[in-house]
Amino acid sequence: FRNSKAMVFPVIKIGTLALRTLSKPIATRLKQQAGLHPKFRELIISLAQANHRLTTTLQRRIYGHATDVEIRPLNQERAVQAASDLLGEMFIFLVAGAAVIFEVQRSAKSEAKKEEKRLQELEALRQKNEDLYKEMEQLKHKLVEIEKLAKGQGIAGIFNFRFFSQSGTEKSAQGA
């Protein structure tokens, strides 16, 4: 079972790498197809223009230039190209983000399983400790009983405890 787990990890890593690698040609294909459909073309042109205004305004603020000036819009071809590039990069980013999220979740599950196993082992040790404590208490109780019996028999009773126990039971059996 452990060997199969060891094999899954590299396969997942290779699969994630392959997915990232395959997302680049798909992104390129998206870029190419983006400008061909009229409604989609209008959508991406407006997206590119909004992105252009935002980035230009941010750059002007960063460099301390006036931000209340009119920003010239991109021409349509340049807007389509910019939006296509943005879509391609967003697609690659989303694929990479999804791969990272998958890896984090997989790692969290693995850690949760390890933690559960550690807790089970700890509980088993606690149970074993409790059982040993009970056994020790029983042995202490038996030792106390033996000491009481030995005091009643004297020093000879300690050495002949087994004999005493057998002869005591024999006497009671004979007396009946």
Q: Which residue has the tokens 């038996």?
A: 142
Query: For 32-61, how does the pLDDT look when each residue is reduced to its tens digit (9 = 90+)?
Result: 776 677 888 888 889 889 989 999 999 988
| Banded pLDDT at 173 (limits 50, 70, 90) | very low
Report the chain's terminal Cα–Cα distance, integer Å.
66
Q: Is the pLDDT of residue 5 over 70?
A: no
Q: Is the pLDDT of residue 165 over 60?
A: no
Q: Name the pTM for this structure.
A: 0.51
The domain limits of the chain are 2-175
